[in-house]
Amino acid sequence: MALGLALATPTVQAQPAAKGTSAPSDKQSGGVGGLGGVLQAAVQNHPSVRKTIADREASVAGVDEARAHYLPTLSGQTNQGADPNVTWGLIRLQQPIWAGGKIDAGVDVAESKLSSSEWAVLESRRQLMEQATAAYVAVIGNKALLATAQDGVNAHEKLLDLIRRRREGGVASDADIRLAEARLASVRTQAKDLAGQVRRQELELSILTAGHAKADAPLPSLYMNWEAPQELLTQAREASPLIRRKRQDVVTVTHETEVHQGERWPVISLRVDSDVGPTPTVYNQPRTRAGIYAEANVDGGGFVGYQRIKADAARLLAAQEDVAAASFEVDRRVQIMLNDRDLATQQLGDHQVVVQTQEMSLESSLRLYDAGRKNWVDVLNAQRELLDARLNRDRAKMTANDAELRIAVMCGTLDALAGLE
C-alpha cells in the first residue's frame, strides 16, 4: 500500500496507489484554469522555450545541409590570356563517389545534434514546469497561511473586545488591554507579510506564464509509490531530458570522431570539366572532359589529424563522464526532495496533533479564566500558541506539496497535464 498525500487537504491519508505513478486529470486540477493551465502557459509562452525550439529548427536545417553533401558540386572559373580581349572560363561538375565515410558520419553528427536539441527543448520545458509548479504551490500555500493568519487576527480582535468589556466591568486592567493590542498588532503584521508573499508569488507565476494563467484552483492529488524510493529514482533517471541529452552528446562526439578519421582518406569523385570561350591551344585537350579523381589533404604532415583524433578520444571520455555527472545530479535532487517530503509529511501529522492539543488548551484557558483560576495573559498565550501551531502545520503541508510536485515533474508524471504528450 503506497502512502499518498492528498495535496488539497491538510492531513495525510492512506490512499491505494498502483505501482509507479498516475497523472492527475484536468478535472482534478481545475482544467486549464488550474495547475494544468499554468503548466501549459509556461511551456508555450516562455522565451527560453521558444529559443530552444528555434535551436531545434536550426538543427533540422543542419541535417539538410549535411545531406546536401551527397549532391554534386557546380563551380566555375575565368582566366585571361595574353590577349586582354580574350577571356576563357571553365565550368566544373564534381560528384563525390567515396569520401572515406566523412559524409555519412557528417549526416550522423547532424542527426545526433538534432536529437540533442529535441531533448534540450524538453529540458527547458521541464525546468519551467518545475518553476511554475513551485510558484503555484507557493501561491496556494501562502494563501492558506494568510487565511490562517487572518483567522488569528479575528480571534485576537474578539479577545481584545472581550477584555475591553471586562475592563468596563472592572475585571480587566489597562495592562491587559495593552498586551492584547500588542498581540493583535503582531498578528496583523504577520498577516501583512504573508499577503506580500502571496503577491510576490503571483507576480512570479504571472511572469513564468506571460500573464496567461494564475493559481485559481486547488492542487491536484498525486498517488505515487512513495514507499519505493528506488523506483522513483529509476523513473526520474529514465524520464530525465538532461541525462538523455548528455547521452546523445556521447553519440555526437562518436560520430565527430568518425568524421575526423575519414579525413585521413582521399575523396574519390567523378569530375566533368567544360571549357567556355576560346580554348587555349596550348592545352591540346577536348572542351569537355570527364574522369575519376582522388583528392587528399595531409595537414601538418599528418600530425594534425593524429592529434585531432587524440582530442576526440578525450572529448568522448569527457562526454561519458558528463552522463555520469547528470545521473548523479538527478539522483541527488530526487533524494533530497524525497527526504524533504518525508520529513514534512511527518511534521504535518505532528503539527496536526499539536493544533488539536492547543485548541483544547485554549478552550480550557477560557473556562479557567471564567472560573478565576487563570488570567488574560494565559488566554492570550494559548491563542498565540494555537496560531503558531496552525501556521507550522500549513508550512509543513506547503513543503510536502512542493517536494511531491517537483518529483512528479522530474518523473514526467505532469507531462500530460502540461500538454507535452
pLDDT tens per residue, range 174-191: 888 898 899 999 999 999
CA 110 to chain centre: 25
pLDDT higher than 60, residue 134: yes
Residue recorded with cell 569527457: 318
Residue recorded with cell 560520430: 255
What is the pLDDT, as a whole number, of residue 33?
60
What is the pLDDT, as a whole number, of residue 3?
32
Regarding beta strands 87-98 and 3-4, do their DSSP bridges make them parallel or antiparallel, or are they unpaired? Answer: unpaired
Of 280, 220, 274, the closest CA to residue 87 belongs to 280
Q: Where do the structural domains in the chain lie, given as residue ranges?
A: 3-69+112-265+303-410
343 vs 351: CA distance, rounded Å: 12
What is the pLDDT, as a whole number, of residue 278?
66
Largest CA distance in the chain: 131
294 vs 39: CA distance, rounded Å: 57
Q: Tell which wins on pLDDT, 40 or 82.
A: 40
Of 27, 34, 3, 44, the closest CA to residue 133 belongs to 34
What is the pLDDT, as a whole number, of residue 274?
86
Options 3.40.228.10, 1.10.3470.10, 1.20.1600.10, 1.10.3720.10; CATH for 3-69+112-265+303-410 is: 1.20.1600.10
137 vs 148: CA distance, rounded Å: 16
State the average pLDDT over residues 28-45. Answer: 74
Measured between its terminal Cα atoms, the distance across the chain in Å is: 29
Query: What pTM was estimated for this model as a whole?
Result: 0.80
Q: Please report, for residues 19, 75, 152, 246, the alpha-carbon distance to residue 278 in angstroms, rounded to integers and kept in the order given.
A: 82, 19, 101, 59
- Cβ-in-10-Å burial (0-12, 13-18, 19+) of 80 comes to exposed
Reduced to 3 states, what is the DSSP secondary structure of residue 19?
A: coil
Reduced to 3 states, what is the DSSP secondary structure of residue 14?
A: strand
Specify the amino acid at residue 80: Q
**Element of type H or E holding 54:** helix 47-67
Q: Phi/psi at 295 (nearest 5 deg)?
A: -125, 140
What is the pLDDT, as a whole number, of residue 83?
60
Count other Cβ atoms within 10 Å, centred on residue 307. 11
